[in-house]
Chains A and B, each alone.
Chain A
């Protein structure tokens, strides 16, 4: 009996189905990752700005500029709280209006005039 050569229709259809599922799955995932990375990058600049603002305020406080600082509660004079924050907006998929995001940082600094 002579054996059949080539591909059966079922084989071709099944293979095409597998390939389509895998390819479109990969494509969707890739798109999602691109969006995710874009969102991270969008947040990266404000983060860096807040950190930079905190460092700058610490430097100014060290130089004796304490006018905008608030004393730390429960501590005798000389220990101050330094704050830095940044507010920004993000566009979120599926929402027509941009969403407001913010990042707050605070720390302490002991400020003494020269001579202390």
Chain B
């Protein structure tokens, strides 16, 4: 057999070439490993930069009203090397109240994009400042949710039983009046000249809260029942020959717990009182009392403008033409419940005393029937130019229901998807914290709070409790709302704070009370959005609402307006989900 020479050489060359290609492949593979390792470091930096961009964007949106100009194309760099860039946050299609913030982090060859959906909670009233919300604590102290969106205490409330009232102006409250609530009258009686015993209600007046940057003090409005006041009239007793005519005194005293406000004007129920003096004849032996003095009283509604300092009468059932003669009293007028009051523009409404189905309309001389409600009403308020009733609807799904009527029921509108909760989770296999969705999104139900400690005492044909648990400023409406969510147990999961060790070890149904805001279109949780609800503790077994470290009464809520020098955002932004 013929053997060709040089075959070994060719084979050696072939093996060498094979080893060469093997080496190239090995190097290439290793380069990928090295690249991956190096990229991980850059990737961590880029991720940190992207996170920083997101947080900065949200911070700017929350603190600067002109954030669109500041965020469009914003860039920055971290101390450790990563850089971020931000396009202008854009609306999420189909969700006008949601915005997507996108942040791109870059470090070396790594590029990471992070996104965050934020809920925009916008004030509806563009012509007014953001509200200062006021409520009472269980101890009768006044609490305020100020511009920093934190509840703080302002000291004892002047009258814990009074409503808090405000709308586009300062906060008003009833306060105990100074001294006697009625004038002292001396007249002829069967026992001679003496001070007349008048039937008077406890003296009270109205005060407004003067709120400075560091100070808060109540300024009392001079009550209308004081001598020398604008609504106080009197004539002295007189003797014409032997004919005696006693004094005539007319005054108004504030009554009831209901209070409404529009800007600097405050409205309150009142009693119009009139004392017509006695009539008699003096004789040599003494006197003959022909007609004893008499006190008349009727319902009235007063208004006081803090700007002008004047009281005025809106509704008055009694007319006193002559201070020495009997007055005219409208006998056909109905009697309003002084613990209810609603003002639509300058038109007053009240529920009828002893009949919470009847809504009365106040005229200048009487209260007449305006409408009959189909359900029981717990109070009246005006919103968007219409009178609304705060009605009791009974139980729904185990939640005692109270609604605001006419499409304002958060039980229908605030059935929203609660966002999933993201957090760090300890992974025992890698012995490191990993971010993941801790709780999947849930559907939540809501209903209005405000009847917790009134529901048992509220009965048909009984008196109204006068709850004013709705605060209104322009088109912005605020109320305490109860939310309920059901959680399924995840016993194997370990959570970092704020989740406790017991968190989700057993299935549970949680109820949380939050402050909700309605802007005319949708209900939203004020001021932190749905994300805040995710970490709120369940309410205690009491009738009070947890707000930070305070426990607030749901019975009274008011949205006042105080001017501030600093320009601040008109919208709140609450993160819903990151990825």
Contacts from A to B (Cβ < 8 Å) = 4-8, 11-12, 14-16, 18-19, 21-23, 25-26, 29-30, 33, 36-37, 40, 43-44, 47-52, 54-56, 58-60, 62-65, 72, 75-76, 78-79, 81, 103-110, 112-116
Contact = CB atoms under 8 A, between A and B. Distances in A.
B6 A105 contact: no
Contact of B424 (A40, A58, A113): A58
18 contacts: A11-B6, A15-B9, A15-B12, A21-B16, A29-B23, A29-B27, A54-B48, A55-B435, A62-B423, A78-B59, A107-B49, A107-B55, A107-B78, A108-B59, A113-B548, A114-B528, A115-B151, A115-B547
Contacts of B283: none
A35 B337 CA distance: 90
A114 B532 CA distance: 6
Interface in B398-454: 423-424, 430, 432-435
Interface in B1-46: 3, 5-6, 8-9, 11-13, 15-16, 19-20, 22-23, 26-27, 30, 33-34, 37, 40-41, 44-45
Given A29-B27, A40-B34, A110-B55, 5 more contacts: A12-B8, A55-B424, A104-B79, A104-B80, A107-B49
A60 B150 contact: no
B20 A22 contact: yes
Contacts of A30: 26
Nearest to B24: A29
B435 to A, nearest CB: 6
Contact of B432 (A18, A51, A108): A51
B44 A47 contact: yes
B185 interface: no
B contact face: mostly helix, strand, loop, or mixed: helix
A116 B528 contact: yes
A116 B38 CA distance: 40
B179 interface: no
A59 B33 contact: no
Given A79-B56, A106-B48, A108-B56, A15 B8 contact: yes
B150 A106 contact: no
Which of A14, A103, A109, A110 has the most chain B CB atoms closer than 10 A to its own CB? A110
Given A25-B19, A76-B63, A115-B149, A108 B80 contact: no
Given A60-B497, A105-B45, A40 B33 contact: yes
A33 B536 CA distance: 54
Which of B15, B59, B434, B535 has the most chain A CB atoms closer than 10 A to its own CB? B59
Given A21-B16, A26-B22, A55-B433, A37 B8 contact: no
Contact of A116 (B78, B150, B496): B150
A107 B19 contact: no
B44 A50 contact: yes
A59 B9 contact: no
Contact of A79 (B9, B55, B496, B548): B55
Which of A12, A16, A19 has the most chain B CB atoms closer than 10 A to its own CB? A19
A50 B45 CA distance: 11
A51 B424 CA distance: 12
B498 interface: yes
B427 to A, nearest CB: 9
B3 A6 contact: yes
Q: Which A-B residue pairs are the 7 nearest by beta carbons? A: A15-B12, A52-B432, A59-B424, A107-B48, A22-B16, A108-B52, A22-B19
A49 B424 CA distance: 14
Contact of A75 (B23, B59, B78, B497): B59
A105 B30 contact: no
Contact of A63 (B37, B79, B434, B498): B498
A19 B12 contact: yes
A56 B496 contact: yes
